[in-house]
Each structure stands twice: as C-alpha cells, then as structure tokens.
Amino acid sequence: MRISERLKLVCEHKNWKIKEFAELTGLPYRTMQGYIGGEREPNAEGMTAIAKVGVNLNWLVSGEGEMFKETEQQTDLNQTEIELLNHYRAMSNELQKAVEISFKAINTELK
C-alpha cells in the first residue's frame, strides 16, 4: 500500500475531507490533494505536518504499527477536544495568542 492510500484511510477514519485535513496540518490544500492523489510524496515538512495531527509516521511509510499515535494526554480527550487542539496547533502564532487572550477572558468570567 502506498502513502497516498494510507492518507486516504486516515481521512476515512476521521471523516475528514481533504480541505479539513490540510487545514489541520497547516499544509496548502493543493499539496494535500497531491499527497492523497498520489501525484507526489510528502517531504520532511509534509511528514512533520501530518504527524502533528497524530498520524503515526512509521505506519504511514511502512504500514506497520497503529494508524495514530496516541499520547497520554490525548487519551483523556474526546474527539471534539482533540479536533480543537489540532486546530489550535495549526494556527499561526498570532492567532494562537488571540485565542489564549480570549480563553483567559472567558475563564475569568466563569470564576
């Protein structure tokens, strides 16, 4: 099985459209489309971005192991929380800071 086929499996497993997968990784849509379509193989930057959403790179390249690598932290999170975290990680530093400021303001209101 090729990397492109495994990336399709990731999308199917997570119910992600190519656009959503690209956004979560921070990769351009056309780049992800090329990876999934088999037009090109992910380079080091692409692999790093794909790993950020929890894909096990060993599985992606060789087919060995689990599709996703679960960290101890993520095992306690539900799917919505994982998706929020992945979206946050895909944001620019400026946008992350804005979210942090907003969260602190909301958290203060809740106390």
Distance CA 107, CA 84 (A): 17
Per DSSP, the three-state class of 68 is strand
Per DSSP, the three-state class of 55 is strand
- Angle subtended at Cα 41 by Cα 34 and Cα 43, rounded to the nearest 5 degrees: 110
Predicted structure pTM score: 0.64
Contact of 3 with 61, CB cutoff 8 Å: yes
pLDDT exceeds 90 at position 26: yes
User: DSSP class of residue 84?
Assistant: H
Distance CA 13, CA 18 (A): 13
Query: pLDDT averaged over the chain?
Result: 88
Rounded average pLDDT over 56-63:
95
pLDDT digits (tens, 9 = 90+) for 69-79: 865 445 566 77
Distance CA 50, CA 54 (A): 7
Distance CA 40, CA 79 (A): 30
Phi-psi region of 75 (alpha: psi -120 to 50; beta: other; left: phi over 0): alpha
Structure confidence at residue 7 (pLDDT): 97
% pLDDT > 90, the chain: 59
pLDDT exceeds 80 at position 13: yes
What structural domains does the chain harbor? Answer: 1-69 (1.10.260.40), 70-111 (no CATH)
In terms of pLDDT, which residue wins out, 87 or 17?
Answer: 17
Structure confidence at residue 72 (pLDDT): 42
